[in-house]
Amino acid sequence: MPKKGTTQEKNEFIWGWLFILPTMIGLIILNIIPIFQTIYQSFFKTGDFGKGNIFIGADNYIKMFGDAEVWQAVINTFKYALIEVPFSIVIALVLAVLLNRKIKGRAAYRTIFFLPMVAAPAAIAMVWRWLFNSEFGLLNHVFGTKINWISDPKIAVFAIGIIGVWSIIGYNMVLFISGLQEIPGDYYEAASIDGATGVKQFFKITIPLLSPTIFFVTITRVIGGLQVFDLIYMVMDKDNPALYKTQSLVYLFYQNSFVENNKGYGSTIVVLLLAIIMLITVFQMIAQKKWVHYN
């Protein structure tokens, strides 16, 4: 608070803090405190239902760094993110550019593409399990193949990635449309007068001016992709031979914490994921200075 100021400035300062106070309280209780609790818990071995905590120092971390299953989960997580993030962004951007134009049925198309975001995850999993079924699935029927989409360890993670791309396209598209509508039309009119084609306008005007939105979508989708859990949990059965090649770090955390009741080791896995996300986020924040244009 400034040392000197008018009564109005002081009132605005107080009311500003009062308005953001509920959000700050929620952030502290639901995000910040759990982070420190998780880090603290990672130095303990826990019994059933969190009872009988025994301090074991860095033993969980030593075990984790030598655990092949953890590093396989890291590979699986990155594979999924590398499938979901770029494809969902590129496809959503193309759709946003097309649906930002004045075309017949534009509102209906936007609704259709956004529907996966409001559909129940359980329903999505059931539908895609039917589509991927190796015996009577629609995909194998259409292509005349008998591919084990979700039970073949070599391709199961790609099948999960396809579901992830399909389910998030609508959300990304809405964000891109919002960003496109903030671009003044004068830029395109001037470019047209100068003889710039639609493709050239897209790369010279649309992409640079939309770069803040692209950056926001990218950073949120990278974080979301690295935290994938629900699709794997609902699509893959526990006795599926491809589970080892598809389980993510969050899925492995769930298995250790809630199935095997070893929340200390599960917390260690989450700390590893937190470190990975922080490093990637810092890299993205540094890299965005070279390609994101805010003016």
Q: What is the pLDDT of residue 16?
A: 86
Confidence band, pLDDT 50/70/90 cuts, at residue 2:
very low
What is the CB neighbour count within 10 angstroms for residue 167? 20
pLDDT band at 1 (very low <50, low <70, confident <90, very high): very low
Q: Could you tell me the two tokens for 168? A: 């998030």
Question: CA–CA separation, 151 vs 50, rounded Å?
Answer: 34
Q: Is the pLDDT of residue 130 over 50?
A: yes
- Establish how many alpha carbons lie within 13 A of residue 84's alpha carbon, considering only the half-sphere containing its beta carbon: 30
- The CA distance from 151 to 132, in Å, is 10
User: What is the topology classification, in CATH, of domain 60-291?
Assistant: MetI-like fold (1.10.3720)
Angle between helices 156-180 and 106-118 (to 10 degrees): 130
In a 10 Å sphere around its CB, with 0-12 CB exposed, 13-18 middle and 19+ buried, how is residue 221 labelled? Answer: buried
**Cα R_g (the chain), whole angstroms:** 24
pLDDT in tens, 30-75: 889 988 988 998 998 876 655 667 888 899 999 999 999 999 999 9
- Cα 70-74-76 angle, rounded to 5 deg: 110
pLDDT at 25 over 90: yes
> What number of other Cβ atoms are within 10 A of residue 10's Cβ?
13
**What phi and psi, each to the nearest 5 degrees, are found at residue 45?**
-105, 125
pLDDT band per the 50, 70, 90 thresholds, residue 94: very high
CA distances (Å), origin 194, targets 70, 180, 189, 190: 56, 21, 9, 6
Q: Which two tokens stand for residue 134?
A: 């190796």
pLDDT of residue 28 exceeding 50, the answer is yes
Which of 247, 241, 237, 284 minimizes the C-alpha distance to 269?
A: 247
> For position 51, what pLDDT does the model report?
62
3-7, 9-13, 61-65, 160-164: least confident range: 3-7
When pLDDT is cut at 50, 70 and 90, the band that residue 122 belongs to is: confident
